[in-house]
């Protein structure tokens, strides 16, 4: 059984600095603490892009400090808020596909993970140029291993008008490379949307996690109902990361709200606390009001 951790959209703005009243670097450090305490048997963790908000050196330094205590290997990807030169200056071991793009491979017993760069610097939408396409095609043609895909921008619409315009715009070119290998593609992990999203694209299972800082509110109105689609609503729902369990038969994605502190209980309590069929549904949970 392979196990790995999917974080995305950490949007660090510098150590001790806040965004919407929250410190993204502190939130990221909290995720690291949680992974070390609860998921230390994972093979690796990946941050799927938007490591920083402005792409500046101070921000990457804060990212570096926040993840320095992680006890499992870390894969870094880039999103539309990142700057590749600064990433490489602070993380010289980041993936390089030979053409300067942050792309690479990680092999697990459940299949190989391919990490794609959908960032085109200077724009918020995702792009995937011919050089990157050639790299991906070579990786897929190299063997017949099952494949997990990781990218920042989704190559499809998610129904949120204010974000769909900044999706990956080269989706047809991408699909032309993926389609011959469709049966091998087990899952596509993406970010950018700051929401828990699960579904499929042309038969490929997909999922997205919340940010570790600010979240995108669910607004499914179309442009006629919401003409000012640039006003993308946000909120401060609990941050989360994904815990992925995969073998040759299954892929399971758990969303873990690692900061949530609500009362805990046993579904089947000890014998002296059981009622009826063994459950104590009416027990009072201290500190909780429904």
Instruction: For residue 107, give the 3-state DSSP assignment.
Output: strand
> Residue 71 and residue 42: Cα distance in Å, rounded?
10
The architecture that CATH gives domain 2-264 is: 4-Layer Sandwich (3.60)
CA-CA distances (angstroms) from residue 290 to 192, 243, 251, 283, 284? 33, 28, 33, 13, 11
Strand partners, 112: 107, 147
What pTM value is reported for the model?
0.93
- Copy the structure tokens of residue 137: 């095609």
Closest alpha carbon to 63 in 31, 91, 89, 25: 25
The domain ranges of the chain are 2-264
Q: What angle do CA 273, 277, 278 make, to 5 degrees?
A: 30
The pLDDT tens digits along the chain (290 residues) read 999 999 999 999 999 999 999 999 999 999 999 999 999 999 999 999 999 999 999 999 999 999 999 999 999 999 999 999 999 999 999 999 999 999 999 999 999 999 999 999 899 999 999 999 999 999 999 999 999 999 999 999 999 988 999 999 999 999 999 999 999 999 999 999 999 999 999 999 999 999 999 999 998 988 776 666 566 889 999 999 999 999 999 999 999 999 988 888 777 767 766 665 555 566 666 666 66
CA-CA distances (angstroms) from residue 70 to 45, 46, 149, 206, 283? 9, 12, 23, 26, 38
Strand partners, 210: none
Closest alpha carbon to 280 in 263, 289, 264, 268: 268
CA-CA distances (angstroms) from residue 179 to 57, 172, 203, 254? 39, 10, 10, 27
> Residue 124 and residue 162: Cα distance in Å, rounded?
12
Closest alpha carbon to 102 in 146, 144, 50, 54: 50
């Amino acid at each position: 059984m392979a196990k790995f951790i999917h974080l995305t959209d950490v949007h660090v703005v510098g150590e001790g600095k806040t965004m919407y009243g929250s410190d993204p670097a502190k939130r990221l450090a909290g995720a690291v603490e949680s992974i070390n305490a609860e998921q230390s048997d994972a093979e690796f963790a990946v941050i799927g892009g938007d490591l920083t908000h402005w792409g500046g050196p101070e921000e990457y330094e804060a990212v570096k400090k926040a993840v320095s205590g992680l006890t499992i290997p870390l894969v870094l990807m880039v999103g539309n808020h990142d700057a590749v030169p600064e990433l490489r200056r602070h993380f010289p071991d980041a993936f390089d596909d030979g053409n300067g793009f942050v792309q690479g491979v990680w092999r697990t017993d459940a299949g190989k993970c391919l990490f794609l760069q959908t960032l085109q610097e200077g724009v918020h939408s995702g792009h995937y140029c011919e050089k990157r396409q050639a790299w991906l095609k070579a990786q897929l043609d190299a063997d017949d291993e099952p494949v997990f895909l990781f990218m920042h921008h989704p190559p499809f619409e998610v129904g949120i008008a204010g974000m769909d315009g900044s999706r990956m715009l080269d989706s047809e070119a991408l699909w032309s490379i993926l389609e011959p290998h469709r049966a091998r593609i087990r899952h596509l992990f993406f970010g950018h949307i700051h929401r828990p999203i699960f579904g499929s694209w042309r038969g490929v299972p997909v999922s997205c996690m919340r940010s570790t800082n600010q979240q995108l509110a669910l607004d499914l109105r179309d442009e006629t109902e919401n003409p000012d689609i640039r006003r993308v609503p946000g909120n401060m729902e609990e941050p989360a990361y994904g815990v992925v369990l995969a073998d040759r038969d299954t892929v399971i994605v758990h969303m873990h709200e690692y900061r949530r502190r609500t009362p805990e209980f046993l579904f089947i309590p000890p014998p002296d606390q059981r009622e009826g069929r063994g459950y104590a549904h009416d027990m009072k949970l201290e500190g909780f009001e429904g």
